[in-house]
């Protein structure tokens, strides 16, 4: 389970601190499926369901892609790609496509409309064999649908009638444009469960197929997630999700309207993007909600550090760390000590980073920024499963405490209806 340390936040708590009776009530609603949006709470049981049903099909599909393709193009937006990207960067590498490996390169498309980004990806694929995984629960989102047209026609040009063997559609089991196209064309289909919203779908085929293609052990992720979800049903203040949800809602009620998620690991960058969508889309509605932002240290200490230390005092900071480093590097000794760094010679970069993190937290707390610390042992399947289950659970509890439905996103429709009107959709 994720360890939550509130020692850097407690001095900012007012009166009796977080109201855990409200978190308990939110927990009850979530598990009894009686809260708003309860028809989208299938993510709680999702890991066990996938483990016992679709896992083998996902693994078989991934091994086919690994054997016949040097590149996989994953087409999707929002919850239909962020989790997969986060997982691959966290557990494999933020430079996944550049590192030497036995598994295909993976490009994430359909999350924008930039012609240069699409053309560049086509150029990067070059003459290599590729497959396309198009992901859309609704099956009608414009950005991925347009990208899919482009990559589908590339496949058809290259492989003719065999192109359909290289398309995998991850979509609703029964309905939607993408579902209907897949059935008509005979593409392989994987499922986005009806009772799981996009931003809670990373542990379905949506996230698991790209992860498996990248060589990640998805069976292990699911097994860990089953036991995490079980442990997170603990109905007491020992529950880490209660601590996090309770603390952030209490701090929000006391003027902390912005939460910055920080990490010292570049491989966490896309995980922070996934977290921003999860919390932003779930909580920001009805005129309320904590604004989720993210920073990457040390880089951002020299860009956003000034603002965090000294700007308007409406921030809270949540720092995610990994207890054990998977890589070792010592500061070399240098004769003459011209750069005056020999006082650090022989010390591990990982240990220096931990000390810098401590210094940063201390300075920010002194600068009036409450600090919540989250940690897991490693950047592996277990650590990833713990973080995903913990954040999903905390998010649902926190949103229920604030009084909103965590599982809808009515605000996203506003841009869509304007867009379709301006584009002349009939
Ligand atoms: O969380 C959500 O529901 C959204 O962010 C969706 O994932 C996103 O809008 C993409 O939708 P779809 O998968 O239907 O194309």
User: 274 and 384: one domain?
Assistant: yes
Rounded Cα–Cα distance for residues 252 and 288 (Å) = 10
User: 339 and 390: one domain?
Assistant: yes
User: 287 and 379: one domain?
Assistant: yes
- The yes-or-no answer on residue 317 being catalytic is no
- The yes-or-no answer on residue 120 being catalytic is no
**Domain total for the chain?**
2
Please tell me the chain's helix, strand, coil percentages from 3-state DSSP, rounded to the nearest 5.
50, 15, 35
C-alpha radius of gyration, the chain, whole number: 22
User: 273 and 353: one domain?
Assistant: yes
How does the average pLDDT of the chain come out, rounded? 97
pLDDT at 114: 98
101 located within any domain: yes
361 located within any domain: yes
Read off the pLDDT band of 341 (50, 70, 90): very high
pLDDT at 413: 83
Q: Which CATH number is 267's domain given?
A: 3.40.50.10490
User: Would you say the CB of residue 189 lies under 6 angstroms from ligand 1?
Assistant: no
Our mutation pick for probing the ligand 1 site, out of 39, 40, 76, 78, counting the most ligand atoms within 8 A of Cβ, is 78
Across 202-222, average pLDDT: 98
Whether the predicted pLDDT of 412 surpasses 90: no
pLDDT at 416: 86
User: 120 and 11: one domain?
Assistant: no
Q: Which of 100, 157, 302, 421 is catalytic?
A: 302
User: Would you say the CB of residue 179 lies under 6 angstroms from ligand 1?
Assistant: no
Rounded Cα–Cα distance for residues 78 and 81 (Å) = 6
Read off the pLDDT band of 377 (50, 70, 90): very high
Rounded Cα–Cα distance for residues 425 and 116 (Å) = 24
pLDDT at 378: 96
- Find, among 39, 27, 48, the residue nearest to 229 by Cα: 48
Q: Which of 101, 175, 358, 416 is catalytic?
A: 416
User: 211 and 66: one domain?
Assistant: yes
Pairing of strands 130-135, 71-75: parallel
User: 96 and 174: one domain?
Assistant: yes
Ligand 1 atom closest to the CA of 135, numbered from 1: 13
Across 195-202, average pLDDT: 98
Question: Domain residues for 155?
Answer: 40-223
Ligand 1 atom closest to the CA of 171, numbered from 1: 13
pLDDT at 417: 85
**Is the entire prediction scored with pTM above 0.95?**
yes
Whether the predicted pLDDT of 426 surpasses 80: no
Question: Which residues make Cβ contacts (< 8 Å) with residue 290, sequence separation at least 6?
Answer: 248, 252, 256, 257, 258, 259, 279, 283, 316
Rounded Cα–Cα distance for residues 133 and 75 (Å) = 6
User: 191 and 284: one domain?
Assistant: no
User: 278 and 351: one domain?
Assistant: yes
- The yes-or-no answer on residue 27 being catalytic is no
Whether the predicted pLDDT of 349 surpasses 80: yes
User: 80 and 20: one domain?
Assistant: no
User: 80 and 219: one domain?
Assistant: yes
419 located within any domain: no
User: Would you say the CB of residue 392 lies under 6 angstroms from ligand 1?
Assistant: no
User: 53 and 153: one domain?
Assistant: yes
425 located within any domain: no
Whether the predicted pLDDT of 256 surpasses 80: yes
**Which tokens hold the place of 27?**
């927990």
Which residue has its alpha carbon closest to ligand 1 atom 5?
78
417 located within any domain: no
11 located within any domain: yes
Least confidently predicted of 329-333, 336-340, 406-410: 406-410
pLDDT digits (tens, 9 = 90+) for 28-58: 999 999 999 999 999 999 999 999 999 999 9
Rounded Cα–Cα distance for residues 234 and 215 (Å) = 33
């Amino acid at each position: 389970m994720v360890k939550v340390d509130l020692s850097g936040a407690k001095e900012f708590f007012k009166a009796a601190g977080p109201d855990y009776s409200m978190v308990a009530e939110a927990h009850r609603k979530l598990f009894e499926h009686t809260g708003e949006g309860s028809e989208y709470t299938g993510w709680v049981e999702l890991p066990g369901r996938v483990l016992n049903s679709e896992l083998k099909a996902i693994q078989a599909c991934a091994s086919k892609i690994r054997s016949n393709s040097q590149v996989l193009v994953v087409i999707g937006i929002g919850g239909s790609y962020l989790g997969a990207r986060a997982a691959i960067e966290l557990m494999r590498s933020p430079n996944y496509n550049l590192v030497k490996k036995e598994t295909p390169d993976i490009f994430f498309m359909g999350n924008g409309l930039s012609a240069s980004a699409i053309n560049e990806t086509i150029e990067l694929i070059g003459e290599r064999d590729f497959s396309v995984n198009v992901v859309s629960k609704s099956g009608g989102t414009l950005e991925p649908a347009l990208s899919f047209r482009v990559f589908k026609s590339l496949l058809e040009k290259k492989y003719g009638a065999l192109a359909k063997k290289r398309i995998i559609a991850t979509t609703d089991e029964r309905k939607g444009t993408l579902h209907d196209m897949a059935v008509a064309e005979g593409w392989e289909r994987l499922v986005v469960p009806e009772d799981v919203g996009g931003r809670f779908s990373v542990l379905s085929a949506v996230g698991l197929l790209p992860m498996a293609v990248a060589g990640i052990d998805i069976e292990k992720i699911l097994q860990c997630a089953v036991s995490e979800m079980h442990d997170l049903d603990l109905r007491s203040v020992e529950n880490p999700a209660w601590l996090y949800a309770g603390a952030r809602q209490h701090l929000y009620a006391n003027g902390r309207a912005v939460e910055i998620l920080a990490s010292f690991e570049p491989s966490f960058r896309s995980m922070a993007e996934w977290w921003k969508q999860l919390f932003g889309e779930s909580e920001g509605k009805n005129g309320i909600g904590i604004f989720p932002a993210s920073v990457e240290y040390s880089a951002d200490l020299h860009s956003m550090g000034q603002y965090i230390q000294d700007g308007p005092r409406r921030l809270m900071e949540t720092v995610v760390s990994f207890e054990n480093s998977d890589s070792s590097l010592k500061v070399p000794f240098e004769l003459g000590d011209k750069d005056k760094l020999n006082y650090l010679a022989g010390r591990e970069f990982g240990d220096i980073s931990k000390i810098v993190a401590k210094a940063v937290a201390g300075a920010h707390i002194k600068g009036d920024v409450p600090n919540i610390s989250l940690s897991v042992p490693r950047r592996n399947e277990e650590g990833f499963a713990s973080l995903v289950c913990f954040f999903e659970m905390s998010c649902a509890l926190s949103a229920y405490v604030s009084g909103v439905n965590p599982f809808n996103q009515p605000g996203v429709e506003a841009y869509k209806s304007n867009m379709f009107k301006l584009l002349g959709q009939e």
